[in-house]
Amino acid sequence: MNSSPSPSRDVERLKARIRDAGLRCTAARLAVLLVLSNAKSPLTHAEVAALLIDRGIDKATVFRNLVDLVDAEILSRTELGDHVWRFEVRLEGSNENEQHPHFVCLDCGAVSCLSDLDFDAPSRLATSRVGNIKEILIKGVCVECQPAS
Ligand SMILES: [Zn+2]
Ligand SMILES: [Zn+2]
């Protein structure tokens, strides 16, 4: 029991987040949240469903839980120009304006979170004259797709 205390602590924290949002903490809901909290980048509904099929959780259940968790502001939903929603866990206590930018590879379509990239207050102020930011998207070629030199 002492060998890996952190995963179970994570689970307890996620359970608490679900309950704090006023949702019932069902096994399927917790499983969906757990998959996304372990993911390195935002996942599509299909990707989450594929990871949970072995657990006997069907696609419709996954989708319903994704929507519930977005409504409860535990997940954020991102559309990166390919008309596919991707889901990721929001930082606790963060609001819509604190979402981080995403990098999309033009070759393979891989999506990465740029969590360290700060879109600072002056930049936000400057863009607020144009409109409200919903999404910060950066396109390029990922390291995997760059030809070896
Ligand atoms: Zn790529
Ligand atoms: Zn992200």
Domain ranges of the chain: 1-94, 96-149
Q: How close is the Cα of 75 to the center of ligand 1, in Å?
A: 25
Task: Please tell me the number of the ligand nearest to residue 103's CA.
Answer: 2
Query: 58-71: per-residue pLDDT in tens?
Result: 999 999 999 999 99
Q: How close is the Cα of 102 to the center of ligand 1, in Å?
A: 13
Q: How close is the Cα of 80 to the center of ligand 1, in Å?
A: 15
Q: How close is the Cα of 103 to the center of ligand 2, in Å?
A: 9
- How far is 90 from 78, CA to CA, in rounded Å? 11
Q: What pLDDT does 115 receive? A: 82
Q: How close is the Cα of 122 to the center of ligand 2, in Å?
A: 22
pTM for the model = 0.82
Q: How close is the Cα of 27 to the center of ligand 2, in Å?
A: 25
Three-state DSSP class for 26?
A: coil
Q: Which residues, including other chains, have CB under 8 Å from residue 62's CB and lie 6 or more apart?
A: 28, 32, 45, 48, 49, 52
Residues forming a β-bridge with 79: 85
Q: How close is the Cα of 4 to the center of ligand 2, in Å?
A: 26
CATH number belonging to domain 1-94: 1.10.10.10
What's the full length of the chain, in residues? 149
Residue 98 has pLDDT above 90, yes or no: no
Identify the CATH assignment for 96-149 out of 3.40.30.10, 3.40.50.10300, 3.30.1490.190, 3.50.50.60: 3.30.1490.190
Residue 95 has pLDDT above 80, yes or no: no
Please name the amino acid found at residue 71.
D
Tell me the pLDDT band of 9, cut-offs 50, 70 and 90.
confident
Task: Please tell me the number of the ligand nearest to residue 140's CA.
Answer: 1
- How far is 34 from 28, CA to CA, in rounded Å? 10
Task: Please tell me the number of the ligand nearest to residue 88's CA.
Answer: 2
Query: 25-74: per-residue pLDDT in tens?
Result: 999 999 999 999 999 899 999 999 999 999 999 999 999 999 999 999 99
Q: How close is the Cα of 146 to the center of ligand 1, in Å?
A: 7
